[in-house]
Chain A
């Protein structure tokens, strides 16, 4: 059990658990948090999970966790580490997570909040009608397997090629919406069946669409580069690889767990199941994970298309001007230089790159920009607000109706199917995103560019 006295303060926003804390640690473990936030981190198993990361073969420098940290399974949510791809460095499906390439896509409009206010309810309603959750029968299109294989290998580029997007969507997407080493033959039939009717679906839980406005600009120069201005309407999409990605993770955690004894790998937690990056199992997972990532980018691209259709219909425009600012993952493993960087609930933040941070339901979201100083964290930053309350506790103590009323009193519209889902995702169940973002800003991992205020929250039908 990690306690506060086990941590050394490096600076006001960075703490370290030394390698000597536990004999199986290969490197130290680091926590980005301010003092107030640090006190709450001890309430769950986050730090034990962070220490477990530090035991992984081939790990470089330290395991890290971001200020929106909370307990996950295997890796803590907010966990980051890098391994050497040679000399036995590992790849771990559990340290990427089941929702491969869960991430954010942000669209910028050429309208202000006041210009859309009279049609906000219509727009939110139309978007909710057009973007299925994927949990019901809905109007889901089932891809045939050959088409699905193309989506798995070409990602968002395949969706744009089919006429559901623009070149600038691809140019402004991490990895141009496609990891080129993806190999559809590495994905099981079960995963493909789970994913065939899910392209263009939102999912549930903490996935959402939000119509937002730019409330505050912190960095005028960066905002100009990103074409963001005060009161501008933007639309945020938060979703991932749906059942296809979940099944890829399930398949490979199982496969790699079974393979680990032959490589002599022993771990403190089964959910960190890992194989050498160079091993057949490691390489196969890397190709399958890339398929999952591509599927998620295709998914967000398809939802972008549906949102553009909704926008055109509601405003009766001939052309809609909804352009992609950026699309970025927060559950993924990427080759960056010589290192394989695993991020689970953490966002890549290369210097000059837009970083998109969703708040909890009805609270602020942020656009940040990556920095040179981020190299100390393998160019990573936070991914959101981070949960503090269990879903079960949230449903028991919070009322979905009251939450909707409260948000509506703040001028925020909610379109949702389930009051239970609203209670589970209540702002009180999360950390304060302003405080989380302030830590990464002060730590220099990424700098604040703009704060986004929600106008309407849309959950799947």
Chain B
């Protein structure tokens, strides 16, 4: 499972999973894209309009890095009226570098204001499940 929805009174809370921290970051970006546009295939404008770009981010710790990464993609989504998939991703000591692909869409299904720091805590899951998880709250 890449992510699941958890209760929150007013906002959207997800639990994100990944076999590695890199995969957790990619799955978090996918969860956000799925909120922004639930049925991307039917509302994409032109598949040929997909564009690639590289983003590089540095943050004080890995939890803040995840929030900053998602907020960067969110801002680009709203400015460019598209959703993004992550095509390549690398974590290094002070930050990350990712290649993201934009897909123009006709409209957003949800207006995410921001990705918040609430309850974020990327941690290892003990065996037998293994892997990594964190909760993530989106301000809707």
Cβ-based interface call for A101 (8 A): no
Q: Does A177 make an interface contact (CB < 8 A)? A: no
> Is B8 part of the contact surface with A, judged by Cβ < 8 Å?
yes
Stretch at the interface among A21-29, A108-116, A179-187, A382-390: A382-390
B118: which of A74, A97, A389 is its contact (CB, 8 Å)? A74
Within 8 A of B (CB), among A131-148: 133-137
* Contact between A203 and B8, CB atoms less than 8 A apart: no
Contact status of A270 and B10, CB under 8 A, knowing A135-B107, A135-B108, A194-B78: no
Complex contact A136–B118 (CB within 8 A):
no
Q: How many residues of B contact A (CB 8 A)?
A: 33
Task: Tell me what chain A mostly uses at the interface: helix, strand, loop, or mixed.
Answer: mixed
Please indicate the chain A residues that have their CB under 8 angstroms from the CB of B68 in the complex.
Answer: 254
1/0 per residue, CB under 8 A from A, across B98-113: the answer is: 0000000011111101
A to B contact number (C-beta, < 8 Å): 101
Query: Chain A nearest CB: distance from B123 CB in Å?
Result: 16
- Residue numbers in B under 8 Å from A205 (CB-CB): 110-111, 140
The answer to whether A204 and B75 touch across the interface, beta carbons within 8 angstroms, is: no
Distance (Å) between the CB of A336 and the closest chain B CB?
26
Contact of B118 with A246 in the complex, beta carbons under 8 Å: no
Looking at the assembled complex, report how far the CB atom of B43 sits from the nearest CB atom of chain A, in whole angstroms. Answer: 10
- A390/B7 in contact, CB under 8 A: yes
A247 partner, pick from B64, B75, B118, beta carbons under 8 A: B75
Cβ–Cβ contact A271 & B10, under 8 A: no
- Chain B contacts of A390 at CB under 8 A? 7-10, 13
Let me know if A73 and B9 touch, CB within 8 A: no
Q: A414: CB under 8 A from chain B?
A: no
Contact between chains at A73 and B107 (CB < 8 Å): no
Q: Are B10 and A77 in contact (CB under 8 A)?
A: yes
Q: Are A71 and B116 in contact (CB under 8 A)?
A: no
Pairs across A and B, CB under 8 Å, 15 listed: A70-B10, A97-B139, A98-B114, A134-B111, A136-B108, A137-B107, A190-B75, A250-B71, A250-B114, A254-B67, A273-B117, A390-B7, A390-B8, A391-B11, A392-B5
Q: Which residues of A contact B (CB under 8 A)?
A: 44, 70-74, 77, 97-99, 133-137, 190, 193-194, 203-205, 243, 246-247, 249-250, 253-254, 257-258, 269-271, 273, 387-393, 418, 420
B residues bordering A, Cβ < 8 Å? 5-13, 60, 64, 67-68, 71, 75, 78-79, 81, 106-111, 113-114, 116-118, 120, 137, 139-140
